[in-house]
Amino acid sequence: MTTAAVAGASGYAGGEIVRLLLGHPDISIGALTADLSAGRLLGTVHPHLVPLAGVELQPTTPQTLAGHDVVFLALPHGASAALVAQLPDDVVVVDCGADFRLTDARPWERFYDTPYAGSWPYGLPELLIHGGGRARAALVGSRRIAVPGCYPTACSLALAPGFAAGLLDPSDVVIVAASGTSGAGRGMKPHLLGSEVMGSMSPYGVGGGHRHTPEITQNLTAAAGAPVSLSFTPTLAPMARGILATCTARLAEDADPASVRTAYDAAYSDEPFVHLLSEGQWPRTADVLGSNSVQLQVVVDENAGRVVVVAAIDNLTKGTAGGAIQCANLALGLPETTGLPVAGVAP
């Protein structure tokens, strides 16, 4: 049995990793660590994780993480690099933070306040790459994997097939996406208080200010094989979990509108976690709750000459923890779907 440690298990992402691992037939849970919550019982911070409620959270140190086959890092951005440097090379490390996602140091230095640490294989298996293939190929057997951000997961899977097929113009991409409050983590922030969020939506990171912008651009550029110009506007929605991303791009000059849906169907027909809905059916965050699934719908707005793709994910499952376990399965040589729910929870 493969053993896994979860660093940052007291947070939302870490708790979600633990929840999913409880149902994984081939991975057993070892050390659970935290920073400020070290010494507390897991059940006091995650009462829903009943089977492990009496487990004490340990400090996040290389010594605590030693001896495991897999280490999941659910730490604040910038905290992973120094810790990873002290872990053995043969351990599978799956980082849910941003430390190793970007292949260019310049956007890292603009959006983050720690030194650039380099890049790892990018953990979005379904991402199409220009010229053929998917990001999955670099993940099989890998010892180091960088899990995507939640917005990049939804937005990249929404538009990559159109770019890979040469159907979209990379010079004019506009995305507006709404996220639940858990995407901001568990720290106390005044603008995330219930009284501030309930009954209200608000934008943030407007005008290219959100740190997921270069990551989405990086992914879409890889799919298009050419630089992509992106305007990305995130919004905060009055819900705990979920992302609904409305992603648009101008139809390429010589593209046949009738070929757009065909390209998406071909791209995702064999992908177990990406589901192109029947025509006329639209994604809802409620339908992917607790699942590792992405639901998509694509249409061509012929009056505007634009392709519109709407994507829904659970930001904590497919957007973080489920994606991390999906990548760990690939690294360990297990079936990619092992231990991961496809069906959501309703109502």
In the block, which residue shows the tokens 């603009």? 110
Q: Is residue 327 annotated as part of the catalytic site, yes or no? A: no
Token pair recorded at residue 211: 């740190």
- Concatenating the DSSP letter of every residue in 290-304 gives TSS-EEEEEEEETTT
Sign for the pseudo-dihedral over CA of 125, 251, 212, 275: negative
- What are the DSSP E strand ranges found in 205-347? 230-236, 243-251, 274-276, 294-301, 306-313
**Amino acid symbol at 333:** G
Given 150, 155, 247, 327, the catalytic residue: 150
* Phi and psi torsions of 163, nearest 5°: -70, -45
H-helix or E-strand containing 171? strand 168-179
The length of the chain in residues reads: 347
Rounded to whole angstroms, the Cα distance separating 135 from 265 reads 18
Show which residues are catalytic. 150
